[in-house]
Amino acid sequence: MTQLTIPTPDTNPDPGVVLDVPLNRLKPSPRNARKTPHTPANIEALAASIAAKGMIQPPVVEPERDAAGEGTGFYFVTVGEGRRQALALRAKRKEIGKAALVRCIVDVTHDAFEISLDENVTRFPMHPADQFEAFQTLAQERGFGPEEIAARFGVTATVVRQRLRLATVSPKLIDLYRAGEMSLDQLMAFTITSDIDRQEAAWESLSWNKEPALIRRVLTQDRVSARDRRAVLVGAEAYMAAGGVIERDLFSEDHGGYFADPLLLERLALERLVALTEEVRGQGWKWASASLDMPPVQGLRRVYPQRLPLTDEVEAHRQALQADYDALVSAHEEDEDLDPTVSEELDRLADKLDGLDAHQIAYDAEDIARAGAFVLLGQDGAPRIECGFVRREDEDSTAHEDDAEDGSLPLRSWANDDESEEGEGEPRALAERLVADLTAQRTAALQATLGDRPDIALIAIAHALVLQAFGLDRRAQSCLQLRLTLTALPAWSTETDAGKAIEARHAGWATELPTTSSALWSYLSALSQDRLLALLAHCVSLAVNAIQIGAHRAPSVVQADQLALALGLDMADYWEPTVETYLGRVTKAHILAAVAEGAGQEQVRRIEGLKKEPMAEAAEAILKGQRWLPSLLRMPDQVIEASDD
């Protein structure tokens, strides 16, 4: 073809000629078949490509003609409008001049509209797998980084990293993708690990269900999420410094990736906790043991801090603060809107009173000397210290041998002076049968009398249950044959709102209770009935067991429904649906059903097209504050009595 010089307005080029046309003389064609404009991202990509490699494919143009049929010197872009806009963008950025020459091909023979349509319809893009591998070639053979590749092809560096990661998938799996036997979403799921053998093994292990979410689950089942409490405690930086590897999912939110070496992570977490045991022992505790979870504590008695008497000076200060607080409340009790200054003063006085109360509670020095502590890992990834556990071998063996000085009753010796033999100074022990008969009569008399004294019966019940619930005085045992079976809950339950409330209530009572059986009886006898009932309710509450295993509802679980109704229990006060508590542990159908019930169908339509993990996270945000509960946690509409058989 003939190369012409810059055209003049009266130039009428021949068909097929190649012209260098000034950019500012190129115009959009009114006969372009593409009506939907190019996106800014498309134009950016074309501009980057042209900047890096020049114009690979010249635009096809036709001359603009006036009414007389003469050329105006301007040209309509029949094919390549996107390239024209990309050049105009570069000119706007002053990367090229406004009149920079653009090599074009003139076509006045074919219909401009049909040419434009053909350009957009008859095109065959390369297979995505070819693009992944081509980017990999640029990275490996030419040393291009993600940013440079991105700049040369007008995409983001994140997109390039994703393409490069896809190129690391097993060639066998990429061939399946090329053959149409695997979707792109499935292929992306395999990029969570670079281990080709694991990728292929995961694919082979799947049966009919090959959903991307399941592929990710199979590949991460022996990995640890960055949200795991162990990972939070150790941190990614320390884990990688110790040689650990973190695998990341570039195609979905992975919340920091997956720690590929659980054993290393667990060792590092334990080392952190073990380091804290030295600090705990430095506080005077006899021993400190590190563990990720609370170990079994059967056989260990627990001591709690006790309320110490205040010195006369501190007590006087406390009473003065309380008087100031009460006076301020009394002076403003009828104010509808409390003045901010008054509110701040009340808060200040309350904080000081709380501070005095906190300093009033402390462990006994002797308890610290023989007891120890567990350094545990909380569910939030923060260390948690549980103090006051006494091992059997550390119990004071002489502590309860003679309690006469602290008000306890001495041990009784069954002997009968009347049966002493002549000449012997010591009486013989009574016959076993006689002892049993006499004490049986005493038992009957106690039962007959106690049945008429509900006030004493209440104290006796509380005494028996408190001894068991708080592990007081191991040598003591109630004469009531009441067995309090404390329900063992999972370790994580202690960090829920309900668990924290139970622990706070238990610790509060423990600071008040005496430590011997006889002293406990005196303490309980002096309590008001309201306080006695409150303590009794706490002990009884520790024996509640409404845990259901599988679909079977045992009679005890049915009775728990009656208890819930009587208490007016609303689990929404204690529980909220999150990814960890529910939404991440059920199917997509369950998630959508929860959102439909809790927030309505409009919210369902917002998330129903999402994948499982994003759907669960979106549902958590939608249901927050809605007080939605799964059926297992709802108040029963009616209680079905357990059958007798």
Please give the angle made by the CA atoms of 171, 172 and 173, to the nearest 5 degrees.
90
Q: What b/e sequence results for 187-212 when a residue is b if at least 16 CB atoms lie within 10 Å of its CB, and e otherwise?
A: bbbbbbbebeebbbebbeeeeeeebb
Helix (H, G, I), strand (E, B) or coil at 103: strand
Rg (CA), the chain: 41
pLDDT (0 to 100) of residue 643: 41
State the burial class of residue 454 (Cβ atoms within 10 Å of its Cβ: 0-12, 13-18, 19+).
exposed
**pLDDT tens, 396-450?**
755 444 444 444 444 454 444 444 444 455 667 778 887 787 777 877 777 788 7
Token pair 């409150």: residue? 534
**Distance of alpha carbon 120 from its chain centroid, rounded?**
48
CA distance 518 to 529: 19
pLDDT (0 to 100) of residue 408: 47
| Beta-sheet strands, E only, within 470-540 | none
pLDDT (0 to 100) of residue 123: 65
CA distance 492 to 229: 11
Contact 361, 508 (CB under 8 A): no
- In sequence order, the β-bridge partners of residue 384 are 376
CA distance 23 to 211: 50
Helix axes 612-623, 588-599, angle to 10 degrees: 20
CA distance 126 to 302: 71
**Farthest CA pair distance, the chain:** 156
**CB proximity list for 533: less than 8 A, separation 6 or greater:** 458
Parts of the chain with a pLDDT under 50:
1-10, 399-411, 413-423, 638-645
**pLDDT tens, 77-111?**
988 899 999 999 999 999 999 999 999 988 888 88
- For the chain, the structural domain boundaries read 18-121, 314-331+339-362, 397-409+439-541
Residue 127 has which token pair? Answer: 């297979």
Torsion of Cα atoms, 503 then 507 then 508 then 512, to 10°: 150
The amino acid at residue 262 is P
The closest of 134, 130, 132, 46 to 86, measured between CA atoms, is: 46
**pLDDT tens, 103-152?**
998 888 888 888 888 777 766 666 777 777 778 888 888 888 888 887 77
CA distance 530 to 519: 20
CATH topology assigned to domain 18-121? 3.90.1530
The amino acid at residue 357 is D
Name the DSSP class of 122: S
**pLDDT tens, 356-394?**
666 667 888 888 999 999 999 988 889 999 999 998 888
Q: What b/e sequence results for 301-310 when a residue is b if at least 16 CB atoms lie within 10 Å of its CB, and e otherwise?
A: bbbbbbeeeb
CA contacts within 13 A on the Cβ side of 511: 17
Name the DSSP class of 3: B
